[in-house]
Structure 1
Amino acid sequence: MSPIPQVQVAGHSVGRMGYGLMQLTWNPKPPAEEDSFKAIKAAADAGATCWSTATFYGPDFANIRLIANFFKAYPEYKDKIVLVVKGGADYKTIEPYGNDIEFLRSDLAKTQEILGDKKIDVYSMARLPEKGSVEEVFTNLETLRKEGLFTAVGASEMGVESLERAQKITQIAIIEIEVSLFSFEPAIREVVKWSQSNKIPIFAYSPLGRGFLTRTYKTPEDIPDGDFKKMVPRFQGEAFYQNLKLVDRLDEIAAKKGVNTSQLALAWIVGLSDYTIPIPGSSNPKRAVENTQAASITLTADENKTISDILDTFEVQGTRYPGAAMHQLVSQVVLEPQLTEDGF
């Protein structure tokens, strides 16, 4: 299997396609652990060596425990993987505690206890808290980094102004934001540009539009009860069907290219800059390999222009998070020194 393109994260060379583990545990019906292991291993073997996890992806650090169990079963992978951990949030409420250094210290201690001798490479807040400032949160993170609790500081759902402020406190190793052909609003585009100019990688989460771009769901009713998407406006009612028109057009481009639409979507993200790393997740080993290999697909200038023209004219219906969560996202205006535009 040919190696995929590489980029540096926290001092390590990693593949330009990462792997998101959220759905393996934070899921109404999570797959069996042995099935998850097969997909994880397939992705890593294909070149997805930078992983995205979080302390709150399931009850009692479920995702961290899954990773720890994987490394117990396959210890030879410990040194191959760069682990990016989001934390600082309560599992049940997802309330961020970035202004509480003792909460973060406890979060990290529990994570490291579970992981054993696998080091936390990057640690970030999933979202900034409503109280406090960017400076307070990143001062806390830098203090904990200097204590040796992890190697590098990451950022999540942060806009350019917040990133500029955070960078004055500590070096940012990676930025995790939602980037896809289904989510490419102006504020996200600005972060992509900032990432390129500052040579800081982006972890592009939900790169396949939470399964929308792959037609995982044919109707809103196909989304299972308990699934987060049941609350997301762009997956509801008429908005769902209007948004499928975007997928129709992308399917046509993919068919002409001779790839599937998921590979087209992932290759497009990789081609946005030298620092974008999509993090698709899948419990299907075959799909995990297909996704990872998309990092080596290059779109032509004409294909990119066609896609750009579509994105510039197609208006996605519905927001990407429920109303109550929208104030935490990258597009939110920063207030000094309180709310920032960072989100979950």
Structure 2
Amino acid sequence: MSNIKEVKLGSQGLVVPAIGLGCMGMTTGFGSDIYGKADEKEAIATIHRSLELGGNFLDTADIYGPFLNEQLIAKAIQGNREKYIIATKMGFEIGDNGQATGGFNGSKNYVKKAVERSLKNLGTDYIDMYYLHRLDTNTPIEETVEAMGELVKEGKVKYIGLSEVGSETIRKAHSVYPLTAVQSEYSLFERQIEELGILATLEELGIGLIAYSPVGRGFLNGSIQKPEDFNENDWRKSLPKYQGEQFFKNVELVNEIKKVADEKNISSAQLAIAWVVAKGHTPIPGTKRVKYVEENLAAANFSLTKEDLDRLESIIPLGTVTGARYDEASMKGVNL
């Protein structure tokens, strides 16, 4: 096993590798196959290779599939459960028929139901990190977090967190039961949580940040230079970042970042991931291929100086408009 550095996630005792593995794209179905077709054999090989390199922190959710992603992870970790740190999420309401209802549910009863389902699908009797995936605005956050805290006391969950919520919600939740982490999109291309003071709140309370899409949904790897570079069914074409004049403005920014990466003899994606690590946060770049998990985890070995950070952040200063991160309907689930 490699010596990928480990970091404390928050202040409740959880230690994780500096870079995790986002597993969403490894399966098909709702919320999952947005980056093209998945191959189960290659996905499992990716999880195993990640472990060999010290990347034993896997991130999934019950909505991915639904359930298929958790079930894939169960296959991959079978016989080696204790070697992995598993994070999963609940909150998108999923019916007994396995279909997403389109709503959110953070009620106490649903939390209890969702965790039992995830434990079964993951083939485990405990979850290391359990998140509320999206805020249910019809249920007080205190009720949801109290139920999640009870899961810790019952031994079904070790640590809890929230996803895509603002400072006020974080403070209310943390006062009920200590949060270990908050998960949100964060990259050189997406720094809204910094602009809104959410990062400052997390630092004040001793809560870690798990940064998903640290490569800007693939934009920051530099391979997308024109609209024709997308596959026909690529979900990203629906995002404001990738449309019209904004697309070409973003390509210009990406090309400036690529110049810095070339000087350092690393890929643009590695530089983007290393930036998140250097900022003191834990990125979970998603991939379903062995070669990319090797490349992503190698970014943990790159040290960026303050001058490097300043240079990158002068290319895309705080407040730069790069386009909304979801379409209008999906943004309704983000409560910052």
Would the TM-score normalized by the shorter structure come out above 0.5? yes
> Compared with structure 1, are the counterparts of its residues 212 and 197 closer, same or farther at alpha carbon in structure 2 (3 Å cutoff)?
same
Q: Distance in 1 between matches of 2:75 and 2:233?
A: 26
Following superposition, the deviation at residue 117 of structure 1 comes to 3.2
CA 1:313–1:108 in 2, change beyond 3 Å: closer, same or farther?
closer
Secondary structure in structure 1 of the residue aligned to 2:316: helix
Give the percent of matched residue pairs that are identical in Structure 1 and Structure 2.
Answer: 31
Partner SS, residue 130 of structure 1 = coil
* Residue correspondences, number: 324
Specify the SS of the correspondent of 2:157: coil
CA–CA separation in structure 1 for the residues paired with 2:71 and 2:324: 32
**Residue type of the partner of 2:37?**
P
Taking structure 1 as reference, are residues 14 and 187 closer, same or farther at Cα in structure 2, changes over 3 Å only?
closer
- The equivalent of 2:26 in structure 1 is 24
Letter in 1 for 2:100: K
Structure 2: unaligned runs, 5 residues or longer = none
Q: Would the aligned equivalents of 2:77 and 2:84 in 1 still touch at CA under 8 Å?
A: no
Say if 1:245 and 1:313 are closer, same or farther in 2 by CA, change over 3 A. Answer: farther
Superposition pairs of residues 1-344 of structure 1, within 5 angstroms: 2-9=2-9, 11-25=13-27, 26-27=32-33, 29-59=36-66, 61-72=67-78, 75-76=79-80, 78-89=81-92, 90=94, 92-98=100-106, 100-117=107-124, 119-185=126-192, 187=194, 190-224=197-231, 226-273=233-280, 276-312=281-317, 315-329=320-334, 341-342=335-336
Q: Deviations over 1:28-80 (max 9, x none)?
A: 54322110011111222222222110001113x000000011122xx23x112
Q: Which moved more, 1:161-170 or 1:179-188?
A: 179-188
Q: Call closer, same or farther: CA 1:157–1:262 in 2, change over 3 Å.
A: same
CA distance in 1, matches of 2:102, 2:189: 24
CA separation in 1, counterparts of 2:194 and 2:306? Answer: 24
| Structure 1 residue 88 displacement after superposition | 2.2
Shift in CA distance, 223/199, structure 1 to aligned 2, threshold 3 Å? same
Give the Cα–Cα distance (whole angstroms) in 2 for the partners of residues 295 and 199 of structure 1.
Answer: 22
Question: SS where residue 95 of structure 1 aligns?
Answer: strand
Whole-Å Cα distance in 1 between the matches of residues 266 and 231 of structure 2?
Answer: 28
For 1:335, the equivalent position in structure 2 comes to: none
Within 2, Cα distance between the matches of 1:247 and 1:226? 23
Shift of 1:305: 1.1
Give the whole-Å Cα distance in 1 for the aligned partners of 2:6 and 2:41: 29
> Per the alignment, do residues 222 and 170 of structure 1 end up closer, same or farther by CA in structure 2, a change over 3 Å counting?
same
Q: Is the partner of 1:176 in helix, strand or coil?
A: strand
In structure 1, stretches of 5+ residues that fail to align are 330-340
CA distance in 1, matches of 2:286, 2:184: 15
Instruction: Tell me, yes or no, if the aligned pair for 1:159 and 1:188 is still in contact at 8 Å.
Output: no
Distance 2:89 2:250 in 1: 30
Say if 1:236 and 1:249 are closer, same or farther in 2 by CA, change over 3 A. same
Instruction: Provide the rounded CA distance (Å) in 2 between the counterparts of 1:238 and 1:328.
Output: 26
TM-score by length of 2: 0.89
| Inter-partner Cα distance in structure 1 for 2:233 and 2:295 | 28
Cα deviation per residue 1:64-118 (whole Å; 9 max; x = unaligned)?
000011122xx23x112111111121353442101x2222222111111222335
Q: Secondary structure at the match of 2:304?
A: coil
Change beyond 3 A, Cα 1:198–1:279: same
Moved over 4 A (4+): 186-189
In the TM superposition, what whole-angstrom CA distance separates every residue of 1:311-332 from its partner, at most 9, and x where no partner exists? Answer: 2277233211112233432xxx
State TM-score, norm by structure 1.
0.87
For the 8 Å contact 1:50–1:83, the answer to whether it is kept is yes
AA matched with 1:311: I
